[in-house]
Amino acid sequence: MLYLPAAQRYCRWTMTTLADLETAADTLTEAEKQELLLFLAASLRRARAQTPEPRRFSAETIKAWIAEDEADFERLSRGL
């Protein structure tokens, strides 16, 4: 196993999968794991805060979209 001092652990290799991240996290000290956990929790809170409210559409609007989509599909199927 490759051990790097804490100051050299960051940005030395590319982690592209969750398994890579889990393996890297296993090399951290307990204090570093706690710091990582706090960072991730704060990151999730920020992401939730930036999420816009869901858009609400009336049943009539949705029905109109479906009818339009079906009509477009029918025209496409007939080659028009």
Q: What is the pLDDT of residue 1?
A: 46
Residues 25 and 36 sit within 8 Å (Cβ to Cβ) = yes
- Stretches in the chain below the pLDDT threshold 70: 1-13, 80
pLDDT at 30: 95
| pLDDT at residue 65, as a whole number | 97
pLDDT value at position 79?
85
Does residue 46 lie within any of the structural domains?
Answer: yes
**Residues 25, 33 contacting (CB under 8 angstroms):** yes
Residue 58 lies in a domain: yes
**pLDDT computed for residue 63 by the predictor:** 97
- pLDDT value at residue 75: 93
* Domain containing residue 64: 6-78
Is the residue at 1 inside a domain?
Answer: no
Please provide the DSSP assignment of the chain as one string.
Answer: -----HHHHTTSS---SHHHHHHHHHTS-HHHHHHHHHHHHHHHHHHHHTPPPPP---HHHHHHHHHHHHHHHHHHHHT-
Per the structure, the count of domains in the chain is 1
